[in-house]
Amino acid sequence: MEILQYTDAHKEFRQAVKKFLENEITPHVEEWEKNHIVPKEAWQKMGKAGYLCTWVPEKYGGMGGDFLYSVIIAEEMARTNHSGLATLLHSDIIVPYIASFGTEEQKKKYLPGCVSGDIITAVAMTEPDAGSDLAGMTATAEIDGDEIIINGSKTFISNGINADLVIVAAKNPAEENPYQAVSLYIVEDGTPGFKRGRQLDKMGFYSQDTAELFFSNCRIPKENILGEPGMGFMMLMEKLQQERLMCAIGGQAAAELMLEWTIDFCKTNTDAAGKPISKQQANQFAIVEMATEIKMCRAFIDKLIAEHAAGENVVVETSMAKYWITDLDKRIADRCLDLFGDFGLTEDCPLARAMRDLRVLSIFAGTNEVMKGIAAKFMGL
């Protein structure tokens, strides 16, 4: 019995996405990894095909799909085994801020471009000295007549190089309460005072354009404030359930993919005695143990997807899923590498990239220690 009720339309959509990715994305991944960036044309191809922001209403250029379409895209993108084309981040984490909190004018101005891929988005929260503690950010935003002046720096910003639009979290220095001081602002590419720093070299996520961003007397019109002034912290908190759920969904798909690679390798390669690696009992037990954990997580994540889509509050359970599944990815990658042996250490083995890329999942979107703290708080501990 399936927990998620995929319709025929959903299933046809998944097959179309698979075919598109096989033809238009996967063949270019090695080039993008080597160049450490994905060309904007790839985003536009995704948009033209209808695979960005599938939930956006038709009046803003979207298809008005339900949450399962987002899940399908996230799962199939995970199977491309690369991180540069961060459609999950754009479509289901950043753009929802505009749709939920933006004015009608902002929605009309930005959402069609977000759907088409002509506008690539980033969200700038993390600072050199403020990561999971959003209240500790030091970037400021001050009103000056009809403008807002932003000063400060942000780091580890995904899509930082390609971004055409950045949602920036900054504080009003006149507000003493740090939780009421934060507001969100829309900063467009080319705005005077907004500069990109270096693209960061990372242990993984090679094709992901993660960058530093700098704001020096960056002036934006007052109409570029997103939502109500002083409500930035609450807006960020409201969207974190979906952000962490999407992180868990991607991690679940990655775990399933790594196990598929490993089972195929063990069936088609032989040991020193000339027998398939999969015929050794120790290897069989390892595979069964991994498969069991992955299937248990699949049941859990599918239940959360259904509950989230129904509008339920699953903050605690999502925090649990995010930490457990992203930790599971590390265990699965490590154990699969043992079964691959020497081949697993080469760049010809897809597991090498997966191990590098997946390591960060337990850190971003709130560290897994933060996830446990959230769950503990709501459990009254």
Q: What is the DSSP letter of 94?
A: I
What Rg value do the Cα atoms of the chain yield, rounded? 21
First to last CA, the chain: 35
Note whether 154 and 124 are within 8 A (CB): yes
Out of 243, 256, 293, 307, pick the active-site residue. 243
Nearest to 244 by CA among 182, 300, 303, 315: 315
Active site residue 22: no
Which SS3 state, helix, strand or coil, does residue 195 take? strand
Which SS3 state, helix, strand or coil, does residue 66 take? coil
Note whether 107 and 99 are within 8 A (CB): yes
**At a CB cut-off of 8 Å and minimum separation 6, what does 167 contact?**
94, 97, 98, 121, 122, 123, 124, 184, 185, 186, 187, 226
Strand bridging mode 225-226 / 182-188: antiparallel
E-assigned strand segments in the chain: 121-124, 140-144, 147-157, 165-171, 182-188, 194-199, 211-221, 225-226
Give 334-366 as a DSSP string: HHHHHHHGGGGGSTTSHHHHHHHHHGGGGTSSS
Question: Length of the chain, please?
Answer: 381
Catalytic site residues?
243
